[in-house]
């Protein structure tokens, strides 16, 4: 599941709304929330508040390494 989220982030230029991630097939709100927290703890992504949702961004170091 983490791979799906990271792939979706890469497809969207390194950032996406958390609400959009929860719409990915087989990933609900709770599961996406847990995966996002784990990725944040591992310093893969950053979370930025955006109204009632969050903007999920790949860390610059990770994004640069992928390019």
Q: Give 15-66 pLDDT, tens digit per residue.
A: 999 999 888 888 888 998 999 999 999 999 999 999 999 999 999 888 888 7
Mean per-residue pLDDT, 4-17: 91
| Owning domain of residue 15 | 2-66
Residue 39 has a pLDDT of 94
What percentage of the chain's residues is helix, strand, coil (to nearest 5)?
50, 20, 25
Whether the per-residue pLDDT at 7 is higher than 80: the answer is yes
Question: What is the total count of domains within the chain?
Answer: 1
Residue 24 has a pLDDT of 85
Residue 35 has a pLDDT of 93
Which pTM was predicted? 0.84
| CATH number of the domain bearing residue 37 | 1.10.10.10
Q: Which two tokens stand for residue 20?
A: 């959009």
């Amino acid at each position: 599941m983490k791979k799906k989220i990271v792939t979706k982030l890469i497809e969207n230029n390194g950032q996406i709304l958390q609400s959009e991630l929860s719409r990915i097939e087989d990933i609900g709100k709770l599961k996406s929330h847990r995966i996002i927290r784990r990725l944040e703890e591992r310093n893969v992504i950053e979370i930025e508040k955006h109204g009632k949702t969050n903007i999920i961004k790949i860390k610059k170091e990770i994004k640069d390494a992928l390019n």
